[in-house]
Copies of this chain bind each other. A is one copy, B any other.
Amino acid sequence: KQNILIFVRNVWYFITKYREQHEKKVIHSIKFGTSLVLVSLLYLLDPLFKHVGESVVWALMTVVLIYDFFAGATLSKGLLRGIGTILGGGSGCLVALLAEDFGKNGYTAVIGTSVFVSGAVATYCRMIPSIKRKYDYGIMIFILTFSLVAVAGLRADKILELARQRLVTIGMGIAVCIITNLLIFPMWAGDELHTLTSLRFNKLASCIEECMEAYSSVRDNKGHLSININGCKSVLNSKSNDESLANFARWEPWHGKYGFSYPWDKYLQIGELLREVTSMIMPLQACITAPLQTSTTVHQPIKETCIKAGLSLGLTMRELGDSILNMRRVKEKVLIFPELQSIKLELTILPNLELQATENVEALAIANMLFILIEIVAKVKVLAKEVGELGEIADFESK
């Protein structure tokens, strides 16, 4: 009966999650379409067109290039685009003006050289990981604008007028993007990171509980022993996604529950710890489903303690996840640690009583499981401490 309940809960979770994701994607698509139309109107309506002229293509291009799902991503790309354009355009103008003194052929040579050097240096910078992570887009725009302006300087009669028009239209494009993206149903990368992190605690809790359930029913039904480890694997592969979310989240202004300088780095640390816990849960599953486990017969005390430990770990993980999700301090902090401690003690004392009685292959599997559980308990303690610190830094409610 409990299995059915869990199954129904999972299906329900899946549906709501899918609808939610779906809904967000549809909203994002509509928002993008809207900003594209708003910018197109600059071109389509005569009174607006008079002010900006042909440069309006730059506004369209800006919208297509910088519009992103997350508010933080759009904001950072918009700002980098603005800064890159101004710097690139400014230095392009300077080089073009300087080069004019060298005559026709000299001009070509100077511009060619400067384009080559700036392109090569900027590309090299783009390959340095720490710069790439933060300023990749800005540098690309810098090279683009610089070479466009420097190269076009020769043939443009009114270079300053052209530059002004382009800057204005790019600014308009950025403004449209930021307004539609941040003011209409904004999708915050910070929210996503926050929810994902807290959901991962639940995923791991389910994994541990599932393992223990499989272990307790190990004699009853052999075919049943397939533990779903996809949840765990997705946690293991979460690093790059987390990092980009945290990167965007840092750009997001004050919104909802998060103040300025919200400690997003702490989420990355917690994510790292979660991956470490996961890398301990994977062998736990391996050990329960291993063929060595086949001849499990009695050792009721070990089984009971293991199951108790699993349930307790699951509870603690859920508690920590809820604490993050609802942004309140870890409840009954005093209660969690001693409980984990006593389980650890129980686990370490157990083998003395029981292991001698069992056969050697089983003994291995059982001992392994006990050891891994102890390790997981230790990791979860570190995790609880880290979540507690997050609560302090981010000033969670202490109810």
Q: Which residues of A contact B (CB under 8 A)?
A: 25-26, 28-30, 32-34, 36-37, 40-41, 43-45, 49, 56-57, 60-61, 64-65, 67, 69, 107-108, 111-112, 115-117, 119-121, 123-124, 127, 140, 143-144, 147-148, 151-152, 154-155, 236-237, 239-240, 275-276, 279-280, 282-283, 286-287, 290, 292, 348-349, 351-352, 355-356, 360-361, 363-365, 367-368, 370-372, 374-375
Contacts and interface: CB of A to CB of B under 8 A. Distances in A.
29 contacts: A28-B123, A29-B119, A32-B120, A33-B116, A36-B115, A36-B147, A37-B115, A40-B111, A40-B112, A40-B151, A43-B155, A44-B151, A60-B148, A61-B144, A64-B144, A64-B147, A65-B144, A237-B237, A276-B282, A283-B372, A287-B371, A292-B371, A292-B374, A348-B360, A351-B361, A355-B355, A355-B360, A364-B374, A365-B371
Contacts of A111: 40, 44
A369 to B, nearest CB: 9
In the A-B complex, the 6 residue pairs with the smallest Cβ-Cβ separation, listed nearest first, are A367-B367, A33-B120, A368-B371, A352-B360, A33-B116, A29-B120
A351 to B, nearest CB: 5
A16 to B, nearest CB: 19
Nearest to A116: B33
Contact of A60 (B40, B67, B151, B348): B151
A241 to B, nearest CB: 8
A116 B36 contact: yes
Contacts of A282: 276, 279-280
A55 B89 CA distance: 19
Nearest to A154: B44
- Which of the listed residues A44, A49, A361 has the most CB atoms from chain B within 10 Å of its own CB? A44
Given A375-B283, A375-B286, A364 B367 contact: yes
A70 to B, nearest CB: 12
Contacts of A367: 363-364, 367-368, 371
Contacts of A60: 144, 147-148, 151
Contacts of A355: 355, 360, 363
Given A29-B120, A40-B147, A147-B64, A351 B363 contact: yes
Number of copies: 2
Contacts of A148: 57, 60-61
Contact of A368 (B30, B34, B372): B372
Given A111-B44, A236-B279, A237-B239, A121 B364 contact: no
B348 A361 contact: yes
Contacts of A120: 29-30, 32-33
B348 A26 contact: no
Contacts of A36: 115-116, 119, 143, 147
Contacts of A124: 25-26, 29
A56 B32 CA distance: 28
A151 B368 CA distance: 68
A52 to B, nearest CB: 12
A37 B116 contact: yes
Contact of A41 (B49, B112, B144, B370): B112
Contacts of A116: 33-34, 36-37
A279 B277 CA distance: 11
- Which of the listed residues A37, A117, A239 has the most CB atoms from chain B within 10 Å of its own CB? A37
A65 B116 CA distance: 16
B40 A115 contact: yes
Contact of A280 (B119, B140, B286): B286
A173 B360 CA distance: 70
